[in-house]
Structure 1
Amino acid sequence: MLAVIFEVTPKEQGKALYFEMAQALKSTLNEVDGFISVERFQSLSNQDRFLSLSFWQNETALMQWKEHFEHQIAQKRGKEELFSHFRIRVGNVIRDYGSENQVTK
């Protein structure tokens, strides 16, 4: 399983459009075989910074999303018009556990 951490600080004039585009793309994510989930969070220390955390079954699924036509258009527009800063990190999930899947004795 892969995790994608996408940090973004939208420009003030681009914030509304960024959220509209993200919402529109969310429905297409479910069409990608291997997509697991995505959530967005707002920074507590910088109200203008947001983090999108998505999970993918494998790199094939992630590449399928990266190469998705509508996603590429949104990425280009974000980089050129909407973002003052962005950063993307991708990593393997080496452990996945919590209270809902602990073994009780």
Structure 2
Amino acid sequence: MSPIATTPKAPYYAVIFTSVRTKGDQDNYAAMADKMVQLAAEQPGFLGIESAREGVGITVSYWQDLASIKQWKANTEHLLAQKLGREQWYRSFKTRIAKVERDYGI
């Protein structure tokens, strides 16, 4: 998988998840993060994902429309990951949803 998502012609949507981790449970966190990427990729409307962590983690997932984002947020396995994140893995986090109007690059 390329570190830069291949997205279609705009418009589409981005879910920007910014987080600060707790110190514990690295193995279970990594396994769940990998599982969530695989599961998201199977969801209708999923377009791609990019992620980086150096102190602050930033994961951006791209979606076809708001309905696809809503469906992903309500996915049963994703709900469990969200719960564990709030309880164990994140000291703080913020989720932002934005409409991508234009993109460009090489």
Query: Which TM class, normalised by the smaller chain length?
Result: 0.7 to 0.9
* CA distances 1:38-94 after superposition (whole Å, capped 9, x unpaired): 11112xxxx322100110000111111000000000001100111111111111001
Tell me which amino acid in the other structure corresponds to 2:82.
Q
Query: Deviation of residue 28 (structure 1)?
Result: 1.1
Percent same amino acid among aligned pairs?
33
More helix by share: 1
Aligned partners of 1:16, 1:84: CA distance in 2, in Å?
17
Matched residues in 1 for 2:83 and 2:95: separation?
14
Q: What amino acid is aligned across from residue 23 of structure 1 in structure 2? A: D
CA positional deviation for 1:14: 3.3
Q: Which residue number corresponds to residue 7 of structure 1?
A: 18
The TM-score with structure 1 as length reference comes to: 0.83
Unaligned 5+ segments in structure 2 are: 1-11
Q: CA RMSD in A?
A: 1.2
Alignment check: 8 A CA contact 1:10 1:18 kept? no
Within a 5 Å distance, the mapping from 1:1-105 to structure 2 comes to: 1-42=12-53, 47-99=54-106
Runs (5+) with no aligned partner, structure 1? 100-105
Q: Which has the larger radius of gyration?
A: 1
C-alpha change, 1:53 and 1:75, in structure 2 (3 Å) is same
Separation in 1, partners of 2:62, 2:50: 9
Equivalenced residue count is 95
Q: Alpha carbons of 1:15 and 1:86: their partners in 2 closer, same or farther (altered >3 Å)?
A: farther
Moved over 4 A (4+): none
